[in-house]
Amino acid sequence: MKLRIKNESETRRFGLSLAQELEPGDVVCLVGDLGTGKTALTKAIAEGLGVTENIISPTFNIVKEYHSGRLPLYHFDVYRLGGPEELYDIGADEYFDGDGVCVVEWADIVAEAIPEGSRLIRIQYGSVPDERIYDIGETE
Amino acid sequence: MKDGKFLTLGIESSCDETAASVTADGRQVLSNIISSQIDIHTLFGGVVPEIASRKHLENIDKVINGALEEAGVSLDDIDLIGVTHGPGLIGALLVGVAAAKALAFAGDIPIVGVHHLHGHISANYIAAPDLEPPFTAVVVSGGNTDIVDVRDYNDLELLGASRDDAAGEAMDKIARVLGLGYPGGPKIDALAKQGNMHAIDFKRVTLEKGSYDFSFSGVKTHVINYVNTERQAGNELNNADIAASFQLSIMEVIAEKAVAAAKEYGRDKLALAGGVAANSLLRRLMEEACRANGIEFYRPEPVLCTDNAAMISCAAYYKFKAGHVDGLDLDAKPVLDFDRF
């Protein structure tokens, strides 16, 4: 399914509504170039889960945890990882089978480590600067 | 104790550096060993945590022994062990914390956990022996963009932080977009010197009036959009102008907010810290803004700005002097609030 997201407020609306569907153990994969709004979408998902802390980019720390919402949120950014084996090294499989929701930015880098059938959102630039195209599917 | 001086062994392994240091009476650096992994990371275009963890493990004994040897002391002389216990990568932190606890247990030496950010700020005590709180501190690095009111050695308040990307992180990402390589900060700084910083008006995000928070995600996206649009139009990019203009849009906001915080809290001293403190434009803007406002400006030399263990040792010394000691149950905390140190 492809969705046209016109601007950041539509990103927020999409994230808020996605958050309502999420259950413990769900993994949401976000794949898209720098600047396509992966962290912006994660912020909206967090808001929808009722997380009160500010979501900041976890690029340097790889994973940041938030426990103030309806479910724990584990926000991964695997941009700097070399491959899936490095994700196991930081104990990611425990997060994936855990009590909360995992959002994984740059999930394509660690595709083999992601549970099958997880939500996969590919984000592309649209035809104008603020526009994004969400291609929504499942991981294999 | 040696020669009547209180010796602290500091250990740091929260991200990509394994480091150990011995300080005397908190501020005098007897050794400061950093096992830089920059060469490995250059190959991969960023910090690679798995390699980082394994390298920390390989390096930790070497840097600790090196720090003791260079200081001319043995473990028996050490009065205190300070270690970064968070925030950071869990696998990386654990190596330093486990080594610190083992040494503390073996030598029956007290141990103190240090918040990484508290360490960065403390680098200024080493660089400027006369510096005493209160002052305003600004920590700018790959993982942090923070303004802190330092009321006393162990009484610090976080006034603002980045709400999305840290300044150094945004620089790394833009360096990648421009094909400059890693580490991005120094590459952008060098290239910017050949460019016109007023060539392109990238947006500055200052957030609500009075806020000391930062947001650099918007300017990052603005630069990427600019680069993509120009490439699509077939225009030749002037990377030096882009680097210079982008750098200005980030550093200007940091300098403005830092000075505003110092003024609001009535501080007449401002101390910079973190890896991006080495940035030449940030240093110049801060110097100018401080001079214009009658504020004394402090900045440690680069070796004390990037991750190191001397700063951890210094912070641990002042915590211990204030009566703070941790137990052997000290744990590595990937997430560690700044008010819990």
Domain positions in chain B: 7-124+305-340, 133-299
Over residues B281-306, mean pLDDT:
95
Give the other-Cβ count within 10 Å of B36's Cβ. 14
According to the model, what pLDDT value does residue A125 have? 92
Q: How far is B218 from chain A (nearest CA, A)?
A: 8
Mean pLDDT of chain B: 92
CATH 3.30.70.330 fits B7-124+305-340, yes or no: no
Subunit contact B164:A57, Cβ cutoff 8 A: yes
Closest-CA residue of chain B to A86: B50
In this structure, chain A runs to a length of 140
Q: Is B142 on the interface with A (CB under 8 A)?
A: yes
Mean pLDDT of chain A: 91
According to the model, what pLDDT value does residue A64 have? 85
* Phi, psi dihedrals of residue B119, rounded to the nearest 5°: -60, -50
Q: Which percentage of chain A shows pLDDT scores above 90?
A: 70
CA distance A5 to A55: 21
Confirm if A104 and A27 have CB atoms less than 8 A apart.
yes
Over residues A74-86, mean pLDDT:
85
Nearest C-alpha neighbor of B184 from the set B47, B9, B32, B36: B47
> Does position B339 have pLDDT exceeding 80, yes or no?
no
Please name the amino acid found at residue B101.
Answer: K
Closest-CA residue of chain A to B167: A57
Determine the distance from the C-alpha atom of residue B159 to the mean position of all C-alpha atoms in its chain, rounded to a whole number.
17
Name the helix (H) or strand (E) containing A18: helix A8-21
Q: Is B218 on the interface with A (CB under 8 A)?
A: no
Confirm if B131 and B323 have CB atoms less than 8 A apart.
no
Q: Is A64 on the interface with B (CB under 8 A)?
A: yes
Tell me if B7-124+305-340 shares its fold with B133-299: yes
Over residues B317-328, mean pLDDT:
97
According to the model, what pLDDT value does residue B52 have? 62
Q: Is B166 on the interface with A (CB under 8 A)?
A: yes
Segment A18-45, tens digit of pLDDT: 999 999 999 999 999 988 999 999 999 9
In the block, which residue shows the tokens 């046209």? A4
Q: What is the 3-state secondary structure (H, E, C) of B35-67?
A: ECCHHHHHHHCCCCHHHHHHHHHHHHHHHHHHH
According to the model, what pLDDT value does residue B335 have? 79
Q: Is A108 on the interface with B (CB under 8 A)?
A: no
Name the helix (H) or strand (E) containing B319: helix B310-321
Cα–Cα distance list, B107 to A101, A105, A134, B96, B195 (Å): 43, 44, 58, 16, 55
Question: Looking at beta carbons, which residues of chain A come within 8 Å of B45?
Answer: 80
Instruction: Give the largest Cα separation in chain B, rounded.
Output: 70
> Does position B48 have pLDDT exceeding 70, yes or no?
no
According to the model, what pLDDT value does residue A80 have? 80
Helix crossing, B239-264 with B280-292: angle to 10°?
A: 40
Range with the poorest average pLDDT among A63-72, A87-96, A113-122, B33-42 = B33-42
CA distance A80 to A102: 18
B132 against A64, higher pLDDT: B132
pTM given for the model? 0.85
Subunit contact B224:A35, Cβ cutoff 8 A: yes
Chain A to chain B, count of Cβ pairs less than 8 Å apart? 80
Q: How far is A35 from chain B (nearest CA, A)?
A: 5
Q: Which of B44, B162, B221 sits opposite A56 (nearest CB)?
A: B162
Q: Residue B5: which residues within 8 A CB-CB, separation 6 or more?
A: B24, B25, B28
Segment B182-229, tens digit of pLDDT: 778 999 999 999 999 999 999 888 899 899 999 998 899 899 999 989
According to the model, what pLDDT value does residue B142 have? 85
Question: Looking at beta carbons, which residues of chain A come within 8 Å of B143?
Answer: 60-61
Three-class SS state of A116: coil
> Does position B340 have pLDDT exceeding 60, yes or no?
no
- The confidence band for B39, taking pLDDT boundaries of 50, 70 and 90, is low
According to the model, what pLDDT value does residue A85 have? 80
Q: Is A128 on the interface with B (CB under 8 A)?
A: no
CA distance B305 to B326: 26
Q: Which of A64, A65, A86 sits opposite B50 (nearest CB)?
A: A86
Q: Rounded to the nearest 5 degrees, what angle is found at the Cα of B111, between the Cα atoms of B108 and B114?
A: 170
Confirm if B22 and B73 have CB atoms less than 8 A apart.
yes
The edge-to-edge listing of strands for the beta sheet with B28-35 is B28-35, B18-24, B7-12, B80-86, B111-115
Closest-CA residue of chain A to B48: A81
According to the model, what pLDDT value does residue A97 have? 84
According to the model, what pLDDT value does residue B42 have? 55
- All domains in chain A, ordered by first residue: 2-138 (3.40.50.300)
CA dihedral sign of residues B261, B265, B266, B270 = negative
Subunit contact B166:A34, Cβ cutoff 8 A: no
B281 against B38, higher pLDDT: B281
Q: Which of B53, B221, B225 sits opposite A89 (nearest CB)?
A: B53
Segment B222-269, tens digit of pLDDT: 999 999 899 989 999 999 999 999 999 999 999 999 999 999 999 999
Segment B86-131, tens digit of pLDDT: 988 778 899 999 999 999 999 999 999 999 999 999 999 999 999 9
Q: Which of B47, B143, B225 sits opposite A35 (nearest CB)?
A: B225
User: DSSP labels for B212-233?
Assistant: --B--HHHHHHHHHHHHHHHHT
Subunit contact B166:A57, Cβ cutoff 8 A: yes
Q: How far is B16 from chain A (nearest CA, A)?
A: 10
Over residues B262-286, mean pLDDT:
96
Q: Is B158 on the interface with A (CB under 8 A)?
A: no
Range with the poorest average pLDDT among A57-61, B241-245, B315-319 = A57-61
According to the model, what pLDDT value does residue B334 have? 80
Half-sphere exposure in the Cβ direction for B210 (13 Å, CA): 2
Q: Is B88 on the interface with A (CB under 8 A)?
A: yes
Q: What is the CATH number of domain B133-299?
A: 3.30.420.40
